[in-house]
Amino acid sequence: MKLIFTSDEFKVGNYSYNGFPILLHENMTTFREGLDFLLYHCIQRGRVASKNSWITYGRDFYDFFAFIDANNLDWRAVNTRGDGHIIAVYRDASLTKFNLAESTVNRRLRLIIKFYQYAAHQGWVSELPYSVETITVRQPKSFLAHTDRSGGNRSTADVLLKTRKTTIKVLSSSQVEMLLMAIKDSRFKLMIRLGLATGLRKEELLTFPKSYVIDPRRYPVNGFYIVTISPKEMSTKGSHERSIHVPKSLMEDLWQYIIHERPILSALREDQYNELFLNENGKPYSTKSNTLNARLNKLGLPFDIFPHILRHTYATHTLYALQRQPNLSFNPLMYVRDRLGHSSITTTERYLHFIDDIADIVLNEYQREIDTMLIAV
């Protein structure tokens, strides 16, 4: 089995889909059932617009079927040699032989379960290679909890691993100070500050357009700048625009970078790039590399530090600060959700009207602490 990603020549309904995953058999013919499923799951349903998600789905899908091929198994068989369900065999090998994390295994299993559900509907298999059981889960504590009529009962495939409660890692204010003090490169520090102040994802930081940075002297504000980020101009998860709030002090420093440092880097290359941050060779950072992770690890800090922790830190501190504010006219959860681009909380238009009218209230304690720290950096 081989995994490839399509070029612009791959079309569905006369529309090109560049970077779409396709599995090929050893004789280089298309794994047709797999392609049909991925087209349905990623395109037809209209819920997976991110190419980054396509890559993840393609690799997870390939991992299962490469395992099937390597062990001379038939994916249409409900049982494997009478020793157990085919998905269970793959699960156990992933854990014991390949030492994959439980979260990674469960993510892959969920995709394979969806494939078999689709395969059963299409008549490719006579039954599902797993059983469904009912489990009781802890009821969520949220403002929508009263709408849940399930009683905490959920139906789930028995091959899935029991999920363990994980703690989101967040930097404290003192750790943020240590992080910023440890970074000597001004360009890298700006990137980290942007992540801490807005909750942008790693790929969003690396592809953030220079056109989003404006001259604060021409457009003065008291608190923050509302910047609309678009998947048409940068890499985002999902296909919808969203707005982020960039603090005035950060926008001022980004503009100074645009004026003084970036032109020197840009002059190193004949090509002109749209990305704000350029590396020492004058090129944009690759979203597929671990450069950002590696640079954070080299700081030698006595706590875990990785790109996504910047996002967790922003969300947690912002939500905490907003919840402490009296007489808010909007829900803090929805504010943070919209800044991060999440879609898991159902909201109403009434709440959304307040999002861009909250002015200086979002210049919370967390942001003021960061600004204070930078005075001494």
Mean pLDDT along residues 331-359: 57
Location of structure tokens 């008291």: 222
For the segment 287-293, the average pLDDT, to the nearest whole number, is 88
Report the C-alpha gap between 280 and 298 in whole angstroms: 17
Residue 138 lies in a domain: no
The answer to whether residues 108 and 182 belong to one domain is no
pLDDT band for position 202 (cuts 50, 70, 90) = very high
Whether the CB-CB separation of 354 and 329 falls below 8 Å is answered with yes
pLDDT at 363: 44
pLDDT value at residue 211: 97
Which tokens is 308 given? 């996504």
Per the CB < 8 A criterion, the answer to whether 41 and 58 are in contact is no
Confidence of residue 366 (pLDDT cuts 50, 70, 90): low
Q: Which 8-state DSSP code applies to residue 140?
A: P
Total domains present in the chain: 2
Report yes or no on 150 lying in a domain: no
Residue 344: is its pLDDT beyond 60? no
Residues 115 and 231 in one domain: no
Give the pLDDT score at 55.
Answer: 87
Q: What pLDDT was estimated at residue 355?
A: 37
The answer to whether residue 276 sits within a structural domain is: yes
**CA 253/CA 366 separation, integer angstroms:** 18
Provide mean pLDDT across the span 196-205: 94
**Higher per-residue pLDDT: 190 or 376:** 190
Note every long-range contact of 3-12, with CB atoms under 8 Å and residues 24 or more positions apart, other chains counting: 3/58, 3/59, 3/61, 3/62, 5/54, 5/55, 5/58, 12/39, 12/43
> Are 24 and 86 found together in one domain?
yes
365 and 262 part of one domain: yes
- The pLDDT > 90 percentage for the chain reads 49
Tell me the pLDDT band of 271, cut-offs 50, 70 and 90. Answer: confident
What average pLDDT does the segment 313-317 reach?
A: 82
Phi first, then psi: give them for residue 223, nearest 5 degrees. Answer: -120, -70
The phi, psi pair for 154, rounded to 5°, reads -135, 145
The boundaries of the domain holding residue 123 are: 2-129
Return d(Cα 209, Cα 235) in angstroms, integer. Answer: 10
pLDDT of residue 370: 60
d(CA 245, CA 78): 52
Q: What is the CA radius of gyration of the chain?
A: 24
CA dist., res. 155 & res. 170, Å (int): 32
Q: Within this chain, do residues 102 and 226 fall inside the same structural domain, yes or no? A: no
CB atoms within 10 A of CB 325: 12
- 48 pLDDT tier (thresholds 50, 70, 90): low
The whole-model pTM stands at 0.69
pLDDT over threshold 50, residue 267 = yes
* Mean pLDDT, all residues of the chain: 82
Same domain, residue pair 231 and 354 = yes
Tokens of 303: 């706590």
Give the model's pLDDT for residue 113: 93
Does residue 47 carry a pLDDT above 80? no
CATH of the domain at 101: 1.10.150.130
